[in-house]
Amino acid sequence: MGLIVYNRPFAIERYIMKKIKKIGVLTGGGDCPGLNAVIRAIVKKATQEGDCEIIGIEDGFEGMIHNRHRKLNSEDVSGILTLGGTILGTSNRANPFKYLVKEKGGVVFKDFSRRAIKNLKNLKIDCLVCIGGDGTLAISHRLAREGIPLVGVPKTIDNDVWGTDITFGFDTAVHIATEGVDRLHTTAESHHRVMILEVMGRRAGWIALYAGLAGGGDIILIPEIPYDMDVVVEKIKERGKKGKKFTIMVVAEGAKAKGGDVVVKEIVKDASDPVRLGGVSFALGKDIEKRTGIETRNVVMGHLQRGGSPTAFDRILGTQLGSKAVDLIWARNFGFMAGVCEGKFVKVPLSKVARGQKLVPLNHVLIKTARSIGICFGV
């Protein structure tokens, strides 16, 4: 992943800049390395170039609903570039259009959007910056349609936001997952085992594809290519015949067999996405051991991929996207997301971002490269 050269395609008009006096910012959805880099860039640029007041909305849309916020200045964002997580807090269960409340001994979903919008208007914010993934940006699009001036910034380790080639947080997650693959090699070789590393990504296979290729995985299973278990087993046996007594598999949590479905860890009724994936590596391990007689172990990376300090790439990308978000505000390009396309920063309508997820295309160059060197995708 090469560093992206920052460009400024949107003109900054000084007379427009003076009209923007107060900017709100929130981080929604799952946490992600690089969030603080975006917050820092927004605060520094907007206060230094536009003499703006920045209001940080706490815990994502939860803060909009319950009116929790605080002022942010340069001192507040000093030293946060290297920190993981978000200093504002976040929530992936606080959809203002479908908010869970306890009522009469039970729980129901209610539309709290009017209340959230009223709280925001009372703050007299000229524009709101929503930093988040596909769920947060879909909510942002609905708020924009309700008349809230806002811009979006794409965030997710899954790299599945439509309209941008890459999201900050992805590079860090890939580095962490790749280190996991590296560490499994020695124990797999020593014990002649099949080792399965399960990574995040929901229904997109970007992390598994990149980490599997970077770590030298023998089999990569991603949601976009439903696997045939017979092919997976044959690949393991084939390696054994060639004297390779171990196999490394990298599996996306959303991977599924042909004609089958994803493995669901649990259903969380009060979450924006109630289906929580996880456990596919356990099912695969049992089946492989039964069919081959080879000892099989699995490791689930889980939230390790979300934690810790962001890579240099994600710090720079987050900073650039934060700066670009402010450019969009100066130019009054409300209802747009700052994205990356072919190495350049672009503005993407939130109406298009809200259409769905960006999945790995079957003709992706890394799939072709992986196949050319003998990596199996289970088909």
Q: Compute the distance between CA of residue 42 and CA of residue 295 in angstroms, rounded to an integer.
A: 51
Residues 6+ apart with CB under 8 A from 213: 220, 366, 369, 370, 375
Of residues 176, 132, 152, 153, the one with CA closest to residue 28: 132
Pick the closest to residue 32 from 90, 72, 79, 77 (CA basis).
Answer: 90
Instruction: Report the alpha-carbon distance of residue 39 to residue 25 in Å, rounded.
Output: 8
Q: Exposed (0-12), middle (13-18) or buried (19+): which is 182, by Cβ within 10 Å?
A: middle
CA–CA gap between residue 214 and residue 178 (Å, rounded): 6
CB atoms within 10 A of CB 54: 23
Q: What's the DSSP call for residue 271? A: S
Catalytic (active-site) positions? 158
Distance CA 174, CA 215 (A): 10
Query: Which two three-digit tokens encode residue 137?
Result: 């940006």
Q: How far is CA 165 from CA 50, 109, 129, 160, in A?
A: 29, 34, 20, 9
How far apart (Å, rounded) are the C-alpha atoms in residues 272 and 96?
10
Which residues, at least 6 apart from 111, have a Cβ–Cβ distance to it below 8 Å?
96, 97, 98, 99
3-state secondary structure 287-345: HHHHHHCCCEEEEECHHHHCCCCCCHHHHHHHHHHHHHHHHHHHCCCCCEEEEEECCEE
Taking alpha carbons only, the member of 19, 99, 40, 107 closest to residue 64 is 99
